Amino acid sequence: MNQTLQAVIFDLDGVITDTAEYHFQAWKAIAEELNIPFTREFNEHLKGVSRIDSLKLLLGQANPPRAYSAAEMDELADRKNKLYVELIAGITPADLLPGIDVFLSELREAGIKTGIASASKNAPAVLRSLGVTSRFDTVVDVTRLKNNKPDPEIFVTAAASLGVEPGACIGVEDAVSGIDAIKAAGMFAVAIGSGSQFPKADAVLPSTAELNYRELAQRFAETRR
């Protein structure tokens, strides 16, 4: 049965704006404090991963390993977040990634609903700084979720909030865990990045500047016939 595209659901970091550098700087500060090596290559593994799970991955690099109490973990995660919030305070509408403003306008004109499915608890604050809060019909509250990406819960929740079936949605991500979550939700998956990174994606675009409503709607329709 043919299925009509009804919604596009976006990740935030690396898709709407790029705060990856701020995450890197904040995590690096924590790593240096703990004498744990931290590189940009390792930072790639933290994309799309929740704060506490990112911290667990970071602490797993410690040599010799050390056990941390739940209270210590919470304190470290909170400290990282405060550093990150300080760094993103200067975000402005000029920090929207290329093509996003036009793509959002195309979706609005076509009557396509939009949502944000980000693992970041700071997503609402970032959207306000970018001046685009009103351009999204829903922003998933990650504090209410039980599972993190690659579990599909966040994308399924976004679709439900929009009142559409997952199969009628396109998900846009820049992380492998995010693409896995989109596919597990039964959505059409659009990856931003290198094709070799995303073998499971339905479409891979080198940058957000390539996002085009008509082209993606056509490709979506071809997979739903």
Active site residues: 11, 13
Q: Which two tokens stand for residue 12?
A: 């935030």
Q: Is 207 annotated as a binding residue?
A: no
Q: Is 50 annotated as a binding residue?
A: yes
Greatest extent of the chain over all pairs of C-alpha atoms, in Å = 57
Q: Is 121 annotated as a binding residue?
A: yes
Q: Is 11 annotated as a binding residue?
A: yes
DSSP string, the chain: ------EEEE-SBTTTB--HHHHHHHHHHHHHHTT----HHHHGGGTT--HHHHHHHHHTT-SS-----HHHHHHHHHHHHHHHHHHHTT--GGGBPTTHHHHHHHHHHTT-EEEE--S-TTHHHHHHHHT-GGG-SEE--GGG-S--TTSTHHHHHHHHHHT--GGGEEEEESSHHHHHHHHHTTPEEEEES-GGG-TT-SEEESSGGG--HHHHHHHHHHH--
Q: Is 204 annotated as a binding residue?
A: no
Q: Is 118 annotated as a binding residue?
A: yes
Q: Is 173 annotated as a binding residue?
A: yes
Q: Is 55 annotated as a binding residue?
A: no
Q: Is 82 annotated as a binding residue?
A: no
Query: Cis bond leading into 150, ω under 30°?
Result: yes
Q: Is 151 annotated as a binding residue?
A: no
Q: Is 177 annotated as a binding residue?
A: no
Q: Which two tokens stand for residue 81?
A: 């977040």
Q: Is 122 annotated as a binding residue?
A: yes
Amino acid at 206: P
> Which positions make up the binding site?
11-13, 27, 46-51, 54, 80, 118-122, 149, 173-174
> Which positions make up the binding site for Mg(2+)?
11, 13, 173-174
> Which positions make up the binding site for substrate?
11-13, 27, 46-51, 54, 80, 118-122, 149
